Amino acid sequence: MAKHPVGCLPFQKRCLFVLLIMLSISTVIAFLIKAAFDSCDRRLEVAHKPLHSSLNALSTKTPPNPLTFMKSKQVLLVSHELSLSGGPLLLMELAFLLRGVGAEVFWVTIQKPSETDEVIYNLEQKMLVRGVQVLSAKGQEAIGTALKADIVVLNTAVAGKWLDAILKENIPHVLSKVLWWIHEMRGHYFKLDYVKHLPTVAGAMIDSHVTAQYWKNRTQERLRIKMPETYVVHLGNSKELMEVAEDGVAKRVLREHIRESLGVRDEDLLFAIINSVSRGKGQDLFLRSFFESLELIQVKKLKVPSMHAVIVGSDMTAQTKFETELRNFVMQKKIQDRVHFVNKTLTVAPYLAAVDVLVQNSQARGECFGRITIEAMAFQLPVLGTAAGGTTEIVVNGTTGLLHPVGKDGVTPLAKNIVKLATHVERRLTMGKRGYERVKEMFLEHHMAHRIAAVLKEVLRKSKGHPHP
């Protein structure tokens, strides 16, 4: 798949495109948090409010940043890895938000390859430029920082290994100020070696109610331990992504550029799945559904624009066995001219501007949340998602998108939903507008700031009862 270089664009378009690309890190690691606190038990719950019109939402003034109380506070962020995957990028976004209010932020990465890694190097440079201090996970400096910090954030369940491996006898002095941010929905993360300290930390922060309940049940039934006080925090979109999503000229330029690079015409319908290519994300089942939808259209002799599928999230340098299976399927079904593979990228905004429908096809228990879903809704895209995990807390079935079952049982329903949106332009556009309104109502940066501020205040309150050594 050949891509046209940016230089092929007219001068004005090229300048705008380059400016938008400069926002790339913000557009993909964008995350926000949505939940309303119950003051009686300090537990976060989602507030389901009526949708306001986009006009009213746009006229609402952004309130003052509630994170200002974190100014001069020391925060240590511990990530299991540093990569382009969701967890580390979300933690980086938190680092930048805290730096924005004057907090002193430190970062350690537990698992790092011995050889130089270009992705890790670039991400660390982005943090250093923003004033985040990057430390070695194994050094004495990290231990000292953990002891002095006002808050320690462990990112993902796997990060729990760092406590015993590095802090050792200092663990009791740190647990009372630990906020454990959990994103995992997979059963293999439920290992006592990882999470045995969960009951005694200040709190756990989880991205959806479904995931929070899953962790509560599994820790009690399988590990015989109790979850600490748990806060449900929905993710969301950054100001930078919203600026692009709400800029009609920018979206048009991006749409033209990406469609030209894919060889897709403006009038064609483009269905996209934007996730790292893996079996758990369901690209294989999506392709089966897409092919089935093409057959349905042919059998029923429906008049629809030419349909295309794009899979964003490939790894062109190290093609996996699973991706080879995907490409073989495309060849066998002779739909090479309709299916496009795109390498994984930090720059998701151009693809969201270019496509017509997002498919969120995560399997098993689904996504813990699925940040790309609300990013797509910001671009007024309807979402075809699996009825599992956090997707059920984002997509309103029949209103902002359509849900289908996970697994093989979902192949035909997804195919039918593809046909529904392909044959009903007004339904597609209306769902997209309602999705945008839902984002404006629930998933903006000021929502996140209030929710995360409440969680951090709780952790600070609890740590005061356990003075630092």
* N residues, the chain: 469
CATH architecture of 239-442: 3-Layer(aba) Sandwich (3.40)
| Rounded-to-integer distance, Cα 395 and Cα 416, Å | 18
Highest-confidence range of 112-121, 290-299, 343-352, by mean pLDDT? 290-299
Domain boundaries in the chain? 68-236+448-465, 239-442
The distance in angstroms from the start CA to the end CA of the chain is 59
For the cut 50, the answer to whether the pLDDT of residue 28 exceeds it is: no
Report strand pairing: 43-45 vs 74-79.
Answer: unpaired
Instruction: Give the pLDDT score at 186.
Output: 74
For the cut 60, the answer to whether the pLDDT of residue 50 exceeds it is: no
CB 376 within 8 A of CB 352: yes
Mean pLDDT lowest for which of 6-10, 82-86, 304-308, 387-391?
6-10
- Residue 204's alpha-carbon distances to 16, 81, 181, 182, 229, in angstroms, are 41, 19, 6, 7, 6
Burial class (CB in 10 A: 0-12, 13-18, 19+), 249: exposed
3-class SS of residue 311: strand
As a whole number, mean pLDDT of residues 427-447 equals: 94
State percent of the chain over pLDDT 90: 68
68-236+448-465 belongs to CATH 2.60.40.420: no
For the cut 60, the answer to whether the pLDDT of residue 348 exceeds it is: yes
Instruction: Give the pLDDT score at 44.
Output: 33
CB 244 within 8 A of CB 23: yes
Backbone phi, then psi, for 151, in 5-degree steps? -140, 140
In 344-414, beta strands by DSSP E = 357-360, 383-386, 401-404
Instruction: Give the pLDDT score at 91.
Output: 93
pLDDT band at 61 (very low <50, low <70, confident <90, very high): low
CB 394 within 8 A of CB 360: no
As a whole number, mean pLDDT of residues 276-303 equals: 96
Instruction: Give the pLDDT score at 119.
Output: 87
**Taking the C-alpha atoms of 170, 185, 236 and 438 in order, what is their torsion angle to the nearest 10 degrees?**
-150
The residues pairing with 272 across neighbouring beta strands, listed in sequence order, are: 310, 358
CB 367 within 8 A of CB 235: no
Instruction: Give the pLDDT score at 447.
Output: 85
Does 239-442 match 68-236+448-465 at the fold level?
yes
Instruction: Give the pLDDT score at 255.
Output: 97
Report strand pairing: 43-45 vs 36-38.
Answer: antiparallel
Token pair, residue 184, equals 């995992």
Instruction: Give the pLDDT score at 347.
Output: 85
As a whole number, mean pLDDT of residues 430-456 equals: 92
